[in-house]
């Protein structure tokens, strides 16, 4: 018998080599009398200090507990239904991923392992102990047989009559004799439940109630039939549960000979859970009665036909989520026993003589943890063998395959065995014919350098999943028909285990003698024995990294002449360790005056990973002991960006008379130092940015000598939201009244707007929406009272579109009333053709303004934001997210304003007030008005990525959120067998806009990125039809259902469609989708927004092997296009997230692949305004629909407005997570 980990060619797998070498090392050390010291020592004292739990909240706590307790500890914050991170005693982290739910979330937010054993509750209903499906079974009587709740919606199935009290065994409840000689068995599964009718005799099979079983459907859901025979229980836009096509089987046993030597009885008998090895099977018809009841109609030939062996089992299985494994058969034979995954040549049972392969799609992300970009130290797939035909070891082989195209039965032809990964031997014959019968289940590990390398490829490419297939064949395709290789594995125990490491980023926050290094120039310090210090960024927060510091004397030619080898390095300080994302400080080095030095640092992960960060930039410094030393800097309470913070500066140098301070180096703002021997000063400042901020301070003595710089780092809280927010737009689900409501009623004031003479313009910003239009003479929308304190810092922002008008008057978009005049005005200045923010010193006083510099484009949406920063005493104007003006008023104006001017009147949208009269009425459209009780900062507009230095470790999206105008997730999609047949060929819109996707003939619905997806292959359902297959033209388009045709002679009706536009491509937009290309043939389009002759925008794969996002300037043949493309080629057979952004405010086209920006292109034109529908799988080019997509598409989303880098990254991360949302 071969050992586990030895391949057919006799080579020992490298994964087990590592284990063997470690074991041998220990054995040799012991034999030699050497004390062997492991990397991590577990001590009773260390363990006593920590509770030895199986789960710890954070990664850091889990690593500490694992080391102290010498056991594996789960990182609680990493857990999800399918994946988790486990801390190992030696300091490693392993990512574990499964294909069926392993855990479910409790009501308190914690996780519990799935336990399907049924328990009776206080209401006497039977429920699984812990399950992702909220399912309850009847305790008998007239209560519903099954009640399932998902997303607040329920599905109830009721037996037609009284139910007896059930007999409970594990995950199943049996209601005996519900009809004469008929039992009913319900069972909790990992993803839902089954209900099986057990027909014991021919007499029972003749009962009309068995031949057509009717279950009443209740609750919120209604059952719908799908053309392929499957069922959906739907409540509104929510699929509560789905059922694969129902089947039935009898209890026949094999009649052929036994191919396993020494084995006489290893077959599995039929049960209510699964068909036995020799069972006869047949499809079961279902239909939905006029009253909504579900009717189950068994095949009469298998109920009472010749040769039937009773009992006969009739089984629809319901699920609340798509499983992440599937099987395929070489002749398309169907098997509905999903408790095991079959591999090899099936014996005499269902699908006798048919070859089975099984496929497992392991998630690589769960929302909080992702393998994307990680270093993969090792990886293996662990399978649990339930049953083998053989009594001794036989082989199974693991291959890389495309993503699963359908569940539970995938396509044999599509699920190609792309590349061989590994093989393993095993046996677990559960019969009685082997010498050691029955054999126990066996763990089989598939590992080695090829597996690790493939997982590394997936991590490098940010694949959301990695899909493997198991075959009885070897790497050359041989031996698949060998009967002794037949195996059954437990899908619930399939596991991908990855030993991974996050690569550290370059060290940041370099300091000399506890003072931050400036971005340029030379830092001076007052000590001859400075220390070096840096922060080691790393996503693995529990690891300890080691920094290596090298330093030099800067040569006469300057820092620009320094290379990796010149000049010679000075003797460096000892390496300095620090926990990830924490600061390390070296021992002191010795320097001399009148020389300039520089140092840099690199960090490395602990062994065995030893991943290097790369070198930081150089930090230059010199010594000056003749000037005042750096002061100490103490912050008060730390707020968010744009908010006030107070610092206290202190020095014990008595001749210091003032301090200079600022958020950049060198600081320039001065404050007087008070005191005698100890000098202090306190200042209150506005925090200028998200994440980490550094304040620079130096002392100045009585003779004007500038002291050495001191710094203080702070990491601020997240940005506060607006205190008032009015949408001023209507769209489906958003009425005019709601458009005027304050979206932030709980913050500061509750200030809805009252509109006067405001009209609503169709399609100005949103197709299918309306935007508030102001007439330039009398229109206004006002609050009933103040909305913000104008005596402190405040900001106001709005989208504006100025319409042309006669004459020249100023147009105010937003203002706040005083008695005589507005306290501020955000407006368009007609006389100078500029936008401006005007702020008054007092009621009816003098205005100071910050104005834009360029001419204004009329009839073009522009985002304006005006800021009054009370602490910095500046008026700022942002146009389209860019700071275009920052003005400090005169000292006289500031003196007049004094402690601040509070406007006690209303906030007015569409006008301002001057000389006691309302004036400057706005002409045009205004939307998305927001008021803040703080100063806006630059990252409020752009957002910030967690990967950016000094980010604070959070992806911040910014406050400009595009509006989603279409979302198609395909969960409710229906395939297209007959063009436009009513209640088929359609995909519902997940937004309130309600635009459908109308599908063409041949479009299939299969497995998607998270649930279902659209599959386009240009062939008419090849897995359901014999060759030669019909060629089809497959795509989808956005449209509305306007009615049905009259029934034809067969009673069929077809849907009457009317195309619907989704996007305005002449304005900022975002298109995104998940795609899994099957193959590439020339140009292949994912999405496009078509016009009359051309598409205005599209995402496609090009013939040159690039992802491309493109736009067109005019809707005419031969129009100019502009595009941005990826550097790396598209990856076939892998789910990839694509996002195309047109940012009209920055005149940019941006392309993102898997959440990361891969290209930016400046545009020389405004794209055309497309008037046609959104197309999925086609584009319009020179009047021709062309460039078909070949493969799968899922999670199509379109937004009016440009998403930021952080928003795209967050979108990708949310959709890459594979856990279902219940």
pLDDT at 35 over 90: no
CB 780 within 8 A of CB 921: yes
pLDDT at 304 over 80: yes
* Element at 64 (helix H, strand E): helix 59-69
Output phi, psi for 487, to 5 deg: -145, 155
- Look at residue 13 in the predicted model and tell me its pLDDT: 40
Burial class from Cβ neighbours inside 10 Å (0-12, 13-18, 19+) for residue 917 reads exposed
Q: Which residues of 787-806 are buried (b: 16+ CB within 10 A; e: fewer)?
A: bbbbbbbbbbbbbbbbbeee
Tokens read off for 1184: 């021709």
- Look at residue 855 in the predicted model and tell me its pLDDT: 85
pLDDT at 1126 over 90: yes
Mean pLDDT over 481-494 rounds to: 96
**Ramachandran category for residue 8: left, alpha or beta (phi over 0 → left; psi -120 to 50 → alpha):** alpha
Mean pLDDT over 437-441 rounds to: 94
Tokens read off for 452: 């690790």
Mean pLDDT over 379-397 rounds to: 97
**C-alpha dihedral (807, 808, 813, 815), degrees to nearest 10:** -120
CA proximity to 551, closest of 604, 621, 611, 504: 621
pLDDT by residue (tens digit) across 40-59? 334 444 444 568 999 999 99
With tokens 């028909």, the residue in question is: 481
- Look at residue 27 in the predicted model and tell me its pLDDT: 36
Mean pLDDT over 464-479 rounds to: 96
Output phi, psi for 547, to 5 deg: -100, 135
CA atoms within 13 A on the CB side of 520: 1
Q: Is it true that 504-625 and 627-713 share their CATH fold?
A: yes
pLDDT by residue (tens digit) across 637-682? 999 999 999 999 999 999 999 999 999 999 999 999 999 999 999 9
CA proximity to 766, closest of 993, 996, 941: 993
Mean pLDDT over 482-511 rounds to: 97
Domains in the chain: boundaries:
111-246+284-322, 341-501, 504-625, 627-713, 724-936, 963-1216
DSSP string, 717-785: PPPP--SEEE--EEBTTB-HHHHHS-S-TTSS-----EEES-EEEETSSSTT-EEEEEESSS-EEE-SS
504-625 falls under which CATH superfamily?
Immunoglobulins (2.60.40.10)
Q: Does domain 963-1216 have CATH number 3.50.50.60?
A: no
CATH code assigned to 627-713: 2.60.40.10
Q: Which residues pair with 471 in a beta bridge?
A: 397
pLDDT at 10 over 50: no
- Look at residue 858 in the predicted model and tell me its pLDDT: 85
Cα four-point dihedral sign 370, 373, 377, 382: positive
β-pair type (1069-1077, 1055-1059): unpaired
DSSP string, 862-906: EEEEEEEETTTTEEEEEETTEEEEEEPPPHHHHHHHTT-----S-
Pick the CATH number of 341-501 from 2.60.40, 2.60.120, 1.10.860, 3.10.450: 2.60.120
pLDDT by residue (tens digit) across 1047-1081? 999 899 999 999 999 999 999 999 999 999 999 99
pLDDT by residue (tens digit) across 170-226? 999 999 999 999 999 999 999 999 999 999 999 999 999 999 999 999 999 999 988
- Whole-angstrom Cα distance, residue 1166 to residue 1153? 24
- Look at residue 323 in the predicted model and tell me its pLDDT: 82
- Look at residue 749 in the predicted model and tell me its pLDDT: 74
* Average pLDDT value over all residues in the chain: 92
With tokens 């401006």, the residue in question is: 836
- Whole-angstrom Cα distance, residue 483 to residue 545? 53
CA atoms within 13 A on the CB side of 263: 23
CB 127 within 8 A of CB 112: no
- Whole-angstrom Cα distance, residue 209 to residue 214? 8
pLDDT by residue (tens digit) across 927-954? 999 999 999 999 999 999 988 888 878 8
CATH code assigned to 724-936: 2.60.120.200
């Amino acid at each position: 018998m071969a050992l586990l980990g030895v391949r057919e060619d006799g080579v020992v797998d490298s994964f087990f080599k590592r284990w063997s070498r470690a074991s041998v090392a220990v054995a040799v050390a012991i034999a030699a009398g050497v004390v062997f010291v492991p990397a991590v020592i577990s001590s009773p004292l260390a363990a006593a200090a920590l509770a030895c739990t199986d789960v710890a909240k954070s990664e850091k706590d889990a690593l500490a507990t694992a080391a102290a307790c010498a056991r594996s500890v789960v990182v609680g914050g990493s857990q999800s239904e399918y994946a988790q991170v486990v801390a190992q005693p030696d300091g490693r982290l392993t990512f574990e991923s499964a294909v069926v739910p392993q855990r479910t979330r409790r009501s308190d937010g914690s996780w519990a392992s799935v336990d399907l054993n049924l328990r009776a509750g206080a209401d006497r209903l039977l429920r699984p102990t812990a399950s992702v499906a909220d399912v309850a079974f009847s305790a008998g009587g007239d209560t519903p047989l099954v009640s399932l709740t998902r997303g607040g919606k329920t599905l109830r199935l009721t037996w037609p009559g009284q139910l007896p009290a059930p007999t409970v065994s594990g995950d199943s409840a049996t209601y005996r004799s519900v009809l004469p000689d008929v039992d009913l068995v319900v069972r909790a599964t990992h993803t839902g439940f089954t209900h099986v009718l057990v027909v014991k005799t021919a007499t029972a099979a003749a009962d009309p109630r068995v031949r057509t079983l009717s279950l009443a459907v209740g609750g919120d859901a209604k059952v719908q039939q799908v053309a392929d025979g499957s069922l959906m229980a739907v409540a509104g836009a929510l699929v509560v549960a789905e059922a694969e096509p129902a089947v039935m089987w009898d209890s026949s046993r094999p009649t052929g000979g036994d191919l396993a030597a020494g084995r006489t009885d290893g077959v599995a008998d039929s049960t209510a859970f699964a068909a036995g090895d020799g069972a006869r099977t047949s499809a079961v018809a279902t239909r939905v009665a006029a009253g909504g009841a579900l009717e189950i109609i068994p095949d009469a030939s298998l109920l009472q036909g010749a040769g039937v062996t009773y009992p006969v089992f009739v089984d629809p299985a319901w699920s609340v989520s798509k499983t992440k494994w599937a099987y395929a058969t070489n002749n398309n034979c169907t098997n509905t026993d999903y408790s095991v995954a079959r591999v090899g040549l099936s014996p005499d049972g269902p699908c006798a003589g048919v070859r089975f392969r099984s496929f497992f799609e392991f998630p690589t992300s769960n929302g909080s943890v992702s393998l994307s970009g990680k270093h993969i130290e090792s990886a293996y797939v662990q399978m649990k063998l339930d049953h083998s035909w053989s009594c001794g070891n036989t082989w199974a082989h693991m291959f890389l395959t495309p993503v699963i195209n359908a569940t539970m039965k995938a396509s044999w032809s599509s699920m190609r065995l792309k590349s061989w990964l590994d093989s393993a031997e095993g046996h677990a014959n559960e019969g009685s014919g082997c010498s050691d019968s029955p054999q126990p289940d066996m763990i089989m590990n598939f590992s080695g350098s090829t597996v690790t390398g493939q997982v590394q490829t997936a991590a490098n490419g940010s694949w959301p999943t990695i899909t493997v297939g198991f075959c009885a064949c070897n790497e050359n395709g041989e031996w698949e028909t060998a009967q002794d290789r037949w195996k059954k594995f437990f899908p619930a125990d399939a596991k991908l285990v990855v030993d991974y490491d996050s690569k550290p980023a370059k060290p940041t926050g370099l300091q000399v003698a506890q003072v931050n290094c400036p971005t340029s120039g030379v830092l001076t310090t007052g000590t001859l024995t400075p220390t070096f210090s840096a922060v080691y960024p790393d996503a693995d927060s529990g690891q300890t990294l080691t920094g290596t510091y090298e330093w030099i004397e800067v040569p006469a030619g300057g820092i620009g002449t320094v290379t990796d080898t010149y000049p010679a390095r000075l003797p460096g300080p000892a390496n300095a360790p620090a926990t990830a994302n924490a600061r390390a400080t070296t021992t002191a080095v010795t320097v001399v005056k009148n020389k300039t030095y520089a140092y840099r640092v690199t960090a490395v992960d602990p062994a065995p990973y030893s991943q290097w960060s790369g070198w930081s930039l150089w930090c230059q410094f010199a010594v000056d002991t003749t000037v005042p030393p750096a002061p100490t800097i103490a912050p008060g309470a730390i707020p968010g960006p744009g908010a006030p913070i107070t610092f206290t500066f202190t020095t014990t140098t008595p001749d210091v008379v003032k301090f200079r301070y600022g958020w950049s180096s060198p600081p320039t703002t001065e404050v007087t130092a008070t005191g005698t021997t100890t000098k202090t000063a306190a200042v209150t400042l506005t925090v200028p940015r998200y994440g980490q901020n550094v304040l620079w301070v130096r002392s100045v003595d009585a003779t004007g000598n500038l002291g050495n710089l001191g710094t203080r780092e702070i990491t601020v809280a997240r940005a506060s939201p607006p205190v008032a927010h009015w949408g001023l737009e209507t769209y489906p689900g958003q009425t005019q009244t709601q458009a005027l409501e304050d979206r932030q009623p709980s913050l500061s004031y509750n200030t809805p707007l009252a509109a006067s003479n405001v009209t609503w313009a169709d399609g100005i910003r949103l197709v299918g929406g309306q935007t508030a239009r102001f007439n330039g003479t009398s229109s206004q929308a006002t609050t009933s009272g103040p909305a913000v304190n104008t005596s402190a810092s405040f900001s106001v922002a709005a989208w504006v579109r100025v319409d042309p008008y006669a004459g020249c008057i100023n147009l105010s978009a937003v203002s706040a009333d005083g008695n005589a005049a507005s306290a501020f005005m955000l407006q368009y200045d007609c006389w100078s053709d500029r936008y401006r923010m005007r702020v008054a010193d007092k009621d009816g006083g003098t205005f100071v303004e910050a104005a834009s510099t360029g001419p204004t484009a009329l009839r073009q949406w522009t985002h304006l934001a005006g800021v009054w920063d009370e602490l910095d005493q500046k008026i700022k104007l942002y146009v389209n997210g860019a700071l275009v003006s920052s003005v400090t008023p005169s000292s006289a104006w500031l003196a007049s304003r004094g402690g601040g001017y509070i406007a006690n009147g209303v906030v007015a949208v569409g006008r301002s007030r001057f000389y006691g009269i309302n004036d400057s009425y706005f002409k045009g459209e205004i939307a998305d008005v927001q008021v803040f009780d703080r100063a806006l900062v630059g990252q409020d507009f752009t957002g910030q990525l967690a990967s950016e230095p000094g980010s604070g470790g959070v992806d911040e999206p910014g406050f400009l959120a595009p509006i989603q105008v279409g979302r198609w997730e395909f969960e409710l999609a229906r395939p297209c067998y007959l063009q436009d047949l009513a209640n088929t060929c359609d995909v519902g819109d997940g937004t309130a806009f309600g635009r459908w996707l109308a599908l063409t003939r041949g479009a299939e619905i299969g497995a998607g990125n998270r649930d279902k997806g659209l599959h386009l292959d240009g062939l008419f359902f090849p897995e359901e039809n014999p060759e030669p297959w019909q060629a089809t033209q497959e795509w989808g388009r956005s449209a509305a259902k306007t009615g049905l045709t009259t029934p034809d002679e067969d009673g069929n009706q077809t849907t009457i469609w009317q195309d619907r536009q989704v996007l305005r491509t002449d304005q900022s937009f975002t298109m995104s989708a998940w795609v899994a290309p099957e193959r590439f043939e020339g140009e292949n389009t994912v999405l496009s927004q078509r016009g009359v002759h051309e598409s205005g925008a599209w995402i496609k794969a090009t013939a040159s092997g690039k992802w491309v996002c493109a736009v067109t300037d005019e809707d005419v043949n031969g129009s100019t296009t502009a595009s941005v493309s990826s550097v790396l080629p598209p990856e076939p057979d892998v789910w990839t997230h694509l996002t195309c952004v047109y940012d009209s405010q920055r005149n940019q086209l941006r392309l993102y692949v898997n959440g990361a920006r891969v290209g930016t292109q400046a545009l020389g034109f405004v794209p055309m305004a497309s008037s046609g529908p959104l197309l999925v799988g086609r584009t319009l080019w020179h009047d021709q629909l062309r460039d078909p997509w070949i493969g799968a598409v899922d999670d199509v989303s379109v937004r009016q407005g440009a998403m930021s880098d952080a928003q795209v990254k967050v979108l990708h991360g949310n959709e890459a997570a594979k856990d279902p949302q219940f």
